[in-house]
Amino acid sequence: MSNSIEEITSVIGAERIGKHQATIDWILTDSRSMCFPEETLFFALKTKRNDGHKYIPELYARGVRNFVVTDVPEQLSHYADANFLQVGNTLKALQRLAAKHREQFQVPVVGITGSNGKTVVKEWIYQLLSPEKVITRSPRSYNSQIGVPLSVWMMNEHTELGIFEAGISEMGEMEALQPIIQPTIGVLTNIGWAHQENFSSLQDKCMEKLQLFKDCDVIIYNGDNELISSCVSKSLFTSREIAWSMKDNERPLFIEKIEKDDTGTTIKYRYLGFLKEYRIPFIDDASIENSLNALAVALYLMVSPEDIAERMAHLEPVAMRLEVKEGKNGCVLINDSYNSDFASLDIALDFMARRTEDKGRRRTLILSDILESGQPSKLLYRQVADLVHSRKVDRIIGVGEEISAAASRFEIDKRFFRTTTELIESGILSSLRNEVVLIKGARVFHFDDITDLLELKVHETILEINLEALVDNLNYYRNKLKPDTKMVCMVKASAYGAGSFEIAKTLEDHRVDYLAVAVADEGADLRKAGINSSIIIMNPELTAFKTMFDYKLEPEVYSFHLLEELIKAAGREGVSNFPIHIKIDTGMHRLGFAPEEIPALVDRLHRQSAVIPRSVFSHLVGSDAERFDSFTRRQIETFENASAELQAGFSHKILRHICNTAGIERYPGAQFDMVRLGIGLYGIDPFTNKILHNVGTLKTTILQIHDVPADETVGYSRKGILTRNSRIAAIPIGYADGLNRHLGNGNAYCLVNGQKAPYVGNICMDVCMIDVTDIDCKEGDKAIIFGDELPVTILADKLNTIPYEILTSVSNRVKRIYYQN
């Protein structure tokens, strides 16, 4: 739903500087999430740790033109075509805008608050109701003073039900959230110790939370919880109540019986006089309680008990983030270094205990202080110790002042350190052998450094990458673009073998608009390494949508099947408006929608809100060859029409792009909004087969030199037949490193001290032999496999292939080294 900048200015009571026309679809508070710059309004929020005003120059450079600020930038002339809406408090302005947005909708809205289980209850209500309703809900656990307005902003004309979480950590905060959510149905999950530090009592906290429900039609809660029950009666609300109870059969929802067995729990309940039952595939008490809250909402919204039972049976656990990696010295690493609350520790320990493939291994837990638990430290670490003992952890390595102070509570093998650096310097990490290691710490402890040290990495022969040459190539192609044309840089296949992270970082520093990789894991690795640029996934796997959502990786969508799976996955994960890139097949006949499918595609996209097209593109099959020019022109024309048809179905701008490297060079008229630069970035001009600025040099070192008489042979199968007395050098690179075996037996050469040294005999797996009879050289000298003086295109020609294949064949075990001249 679009809003004009005038309307927004008046709603938030801002002073407007700049008179530029703008329509706003997107609200942004975190510059890393930027996606649709043209239609974005950025709120420069000031928090304890950060100030959003810092990011204005960067966002402006990336195309954002509308900003809500408290302080107008000093050099306004740098922001010629921008609007600045100046207010006294940007957070309050954001909340006000969201509250005003909420007022437009007359649909039921569920507001969920409580100390635990909010996200699970929200997701389960969603799972019970989504088959019949279009639901807008908080993504993940967006429940803060900032997260709630961003969530509510996602409601649109299709929304039939809203489900939003509200979390608070201080008195007075619920008063701000209530007008934004304006729930008609209130769910209070439970009241516990989380965030207790800012409340004088549990009762205070409970009363504060109930503020959310002051205008609700109905309130749902656990009637057996005395604290909650007494607070609800004290609040004097006139709303209807659905208190569920296992003890009191006068309550509107009476739970008659709960039966657990090995695979699930069957729950019998009485509602409006009828006795019904359902079953869930969980047996823990928290899940049972969560399901009861979700049940009450579904009953209130008149889902039939039969449908409820059917859907409860298939409830899915709410996703979480745990990574398993191969470690050094036979260790298995479970990495959960993103958060550190007690509940997630329990889940992670449970996961470690269950991994049957690790049976018999010692279990080590590396754990930091648990921050912001709201519990007294003594109580907290007693609980942690109990958990650690009951989950059969063999050793704990604790990091932080608080956990160190509680050392005596742990009755297992243990070590404690005040900081992560102290732990690393102790050398204890290198003593871990054949263990399962769970690494779990609050972000501030930087446990990523620990994971880094423990992870398995192998190095050999090196591939040197000249980053300056890369930038020169980038600029070479940039100079061919019109000023407004955007650029995607292809960093798929480890940046054509050059290594994705450094290449991506360099490109990000030079502000390219998009990066593209082949598969989700490549993108996730970039995100983990700190790359914030927008990333497109060209070959999204059906099994990796969650990775894409977690890391904000934007998939290419090329078929209805893929689209449906994506929409389904987005539904499960609580994701909406996720950007996607539509591929059209204009003649490659590899992947893509046929042009005739566009109307059906537009229609399908209109009937969902999980994804939103950010760009539309196609791929040229022969842009590097004159003989295909008429075919290429036909592809461009087909694309022009099909992409225009897609765009016509939407009010927001959809970027169009078709040119690859050769297309940029040869079809300047087909730049549309964006181009995709690949091989040219790595220094190869695909049209002339010339090297622009050489980026990669594959080199190794002579291990040993033998004088071999004329009647001997070299290597396997006696293939290296010598016709003269020779000097034969062995170098540590073989076909397992990506040195193609067909280069052997004199078909090609490497360079030693600038001279050609032919490969002798068959290339082995890890080593090969070269003839250096005529070359002045010694052991330890360098051998260049390809690089400046031996272009990769020569090897490609010898192998009757393309340079792309040679570059991407250099295997992972070859260490990449980066330099700038």
Ligand X SMILES: *Cc1c(COP(=O)(O)O)cnc(C)c1O
When asked if residue 660 is in the footprint of ligand X (CB under 6 A), the reply is: yes
CB closer to ligand X, 366 vs 503 = 503
CB closer to ligand X, 161 vs 487 = 487
Please confirm, yes or no, whether 100 is among the known catalytic residues. no
CB closer to ligand X, 280 vs 490 = 490
Query: Rounded CA gap, 182 and 205, in Å?
Result: 20
CB closer to ligand X, 186 vs 686 = 686
Query: Rounded CA gap, 701 and 728, in Å?
Result: 14
698 bridge partner residues: 463, 786
Instruction: For residue 482, count CB atoms less than 10 angstroms from its CB and return exposed for 0-12, middle for 13-18, buried for 19 or more.
Output: exposed
When asked if residue 661 is in the footprint of ligand X (CB under 6 A), the reply is: yes
CB of 675 to ligand X, least distance (A): 9
CB of 517 to ligand X, least distance (A): 10
Helices (runs of H) and strands (runs of E) counted in the chain: 26, 43
Site for ligand X in 686-705 (CB under 6 A): 686
* CB-CB contact of 365 with 397 (8 Å): yes
Residue 765 in marked binding region: yes
CB of 488 to ligand X, least distance (A): 8
CB closer to ligand X, 73 vs 686 = 686
Say whether 600 sits in a helix, a strand or coil.
helix
Query: Rounded CA gap, 314 and 779, in Å?
Result: 66
Q: Which two tokens stand for residue 28?
A: 């942004």
Residues near 551 by Cβ (< 8 Å), separated by ≥ 6?
Answer: 520, 523, 524, 527, 528, 535
When asked if residue 148 is in the footprint of ligand X (CB under 6 A), the reply is: no
Catalytic residue among 205, 492, 583, 699: 492
CB of 490 to ligand X, least distance (A): 5
Residue 604 in marked binding region: no
CB closer to ligand X, 516 vs 730 = 516
Q: Which of 802, 534, 554, 536 is nearest to 662 (CA)?
A: 802
CB closer to ligand X, 437 vs 677 = 677
Residue ranges of alpha helices (H) inside 252-302 are 285-300
Q: How many residues belong to the chain?
A: 821
CB of 682 to ligand X, least distance (A): 8
Say whether 84 sits in a helix, a strand or coil.
strand
- How far is the first Cα of the chain from the last one, in angstroms, to the nearest whole number? 50
Please confirm, yes or no, whether 492 is among the known catalytic residues. yes
The mark string for 668-687 relative to ligand X (x by CB under 6 A, - otherwise) is --------xxxxx-----x-
Q: Which of 85, 99, 467, 490 binds ligand X (CB under 6 A)?
A: 490
CB closer to ligand X, 245 vs 660 = 660
Please work out the total of residues on this chain that contact ligand X, with binding judged by CB under 6 A.
11
Three-state secondary structure of 640-688: HHHHHHHHHCCCCCCEEECCCHHHHHHCHHHCCCEEEECHHHHCEECCC
CB of 590 to ligand X, least distance (A): 9
CB closer to ligand X, 170 vs 626 = 626
Q: In what helix (H) or strand (E) does residue 207 lie, and over which residues does it extend?
A: helix 202-210
- E strand spans, 175-298: 185-188, 218-222, 240-245, 253-260, 265-271, 274-280
Query: Rounded CA gap, 522 and 504, in Å?
Result: 11
Q: Which amino acid belongs to residue 36? A: F
Q: Which amino acid belongs to residue 29? A: T
Catalytic residue among 54, 257, 716, 778: 716
Site for ligand X in 79-108 (CB under 6 A): none
Name the residue whose CB lies closest to ligand X: 678
Query: Rounded CA gap, 462 and 459, in Å?
Result: 8
The mark string for 769-798 relative to ligand X (x by CB under 6 A, - otherwise) is ------------------------------
The mark string for 499-538 relative to ligand X (x by CB under 6 A, - otherwise) is ---------------------------------------x
CB of 551 to ligand X, least distance (A): 20
Query: Rounded CA gap, 276 and 274, in Å?
Result: 6
CB closer to ligand X, 185 vs 674 = 674
CB of 536 to ligand X, least distance (A): 9
CB of 676 to ligand X, least distance (A): 4
When asked if residue 619 is in the footprint of ligand X (CB under 6 A), the reply is: yes
Distances (CA, A) of 55 to 18, 26, 74, 92: 19, 17, 14, 19
**At 360, phi and psi to the nearest 5?**
90, -15
CB of 665 to ligand X, least distance (A): 10
The mark string for 464-483 relative to ligand X (x by CB under 6 A, - otherwise) is --------------------
Radius of gyration for the chain, computed over Cα atoms and rounded to the nearest angstrom:
31
When asked if residue 601 is in the footprint of ligand X (CB under 6 A), the reply is: no
Say whether 779 sits in a helix, a strand or coil.
coil
Query: Rounded CA gap, 534 and 527, in Å?
Result: 10
**At 294, phi and psi to the nearest 5?**
-65, -40
The interaxial angle of helices 467-478 and 500-509, nearest 10 deg, is 50
- Contacts with ligand X, residue ranges (CB under 6 A): 490, 538, 619, 660-661, 676-680, 686
- Binding residues for substrate, as ranges, are 590, 765
- Binding residues, as ranges, are 590, 765
Catalytic center residues: 492, 716
